[in-house]
């Protein structure tokens, strides 16, 4: 049986950013650098997608991947997830971090103030907020197109204001290479 970490994480990096800004790409890069023993990528949407896939007979792997399949289901998943969050805003944060034993937690997909508040209230000294940004042109090249009800809803806009980000990362071909941006802020 695995033992729960008593002391909690040493570092919690909370990433947010618009669709196709590269949240998964950047957080995977950090995990590759730190290694699986030290670093866990915590995806708040993972338990949501797991439960949603089960209840709706969908392909979980495709919902977890970057392709068009999850986009076809995104609006309905958002509504479904919000009905859970309205009853318990920390519901997916708790599920996604259950049993995580690595000292560095890289949360890949904060979307709402309540997500950030949950980590900050539990780990006030360890938590840092990071925004991944890039142009709409770059996001479009990665498959994004504006979808009403998604791109103008809380899921995408909930952190547009009201958060002081500790770091901003620009994930564009023209920007400083990601490696160098990560090194500027940390020794990652």
Ligand X SMILES: C[C@@](O)(CCOP(=O)(O)O)CC(=O)O
22 contacts ligand ATP (rule: CB under 6 A):
yes
* Residue numbers 84-143 binding ligand ATP by CB under 6 A: 142
Least distance (Å) from ligand X to the CB of residue 2? 26
Residues binding ligand X (CB under 6 A) = 45, 48, 70, 74, 77-78, 81, 109, 111, 155
Q: If we measure between CA atoms, which residue out of 33, 108, 38, 4 comes closest to residue 66?
A: 108
- The helix or strand, by DSSP H or E, that contains position 129, with its residue range, turns out to be strand 127-133
Annotated ligand binding at 85? The verdict is no
User: Is 181 among the annotated ligand-binding positions?
Assistant: yes
Distances from the Cα of 43 to the Cα of 101, 103, 110, 138, 169, angstroms: 15, 16, 9, 23, 19
Cβ proximity to ligand ATP: between 85 and 111 the closer is 111
Nearer to ligand ATP, 22 or 47 (CB): 22
Closest by CA to 13, choosing from 185, 153, 155, 157, is 185
Q: Are 41 and 108 in contact (CB under 8 A)?
A: yes
Report the nearest approach of ligand ATP to the CB of residue 171 (Å): 5
Q: Is 33 annotated as a binding residue?
A: no
The verdict on 25 binding ligand ATP (CB under 6 A) reads: yes
Strand pairing class (104-107; 167-170)? unpaired
Q: Euclidean distance between the first and final Cα of the chain, in Å? A: 31
83 labelled ligand-binding: no
- Residue from the set 20, 43, 73, 85 that interacts with ligand ATP by CB under 6 A: 20
Would the annotation count 22 as a binding residue?
yes
Which is closer to ligand ATP, CB of 6 or CB of 174?
174
Closest distance of CB 173 from ligand ATP, Å: 7
Distance of alpha carbon 80 from alpha carbon 78, whole angstroms: 5
Question: Which residues fall in the annotated binding site for ATP?
Answer: 18-24, 142, 171, 181
């Amino acid at each position: 049986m695995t033992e729960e970490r008593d002391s909690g994480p040493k570092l919690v990096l909370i990433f947010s950013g618009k669709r196709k800004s590269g949240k998964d790409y950047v957080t995977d890069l950090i995990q590759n650098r730190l290694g699986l023993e030290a670093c866990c990528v915590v995806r708040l949407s993972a338990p949501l997608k797991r439960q949603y896939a089960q209840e709706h007979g969908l392909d979980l792997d495709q919902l977890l991947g970057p392709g068009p399949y999850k986009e076809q289901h995104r609006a309905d998943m958002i509504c479904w997830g919000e009905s859970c969050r309205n009853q318990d805003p920390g519901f997916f944060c708790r599920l996604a971090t259950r049993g995580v034993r690595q000292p560095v937690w890289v949360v890949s997909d904060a979307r709402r103030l309540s997500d950030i508040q949950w980590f900050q209230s539990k780990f006030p000294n360890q938590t840092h907020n990071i925004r991944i940004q890039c142009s709409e042109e770059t996001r479009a090249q990665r498959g994004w197109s504006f979808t009403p009800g998604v791109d103008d809803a809380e899921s995408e806009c909930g952190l547009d204001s009201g958060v002081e980000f500790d770091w901003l990362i620009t994930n564009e071909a023209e920007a400083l290479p990601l490696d160098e941006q990560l090194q500027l802020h940390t020794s990652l």
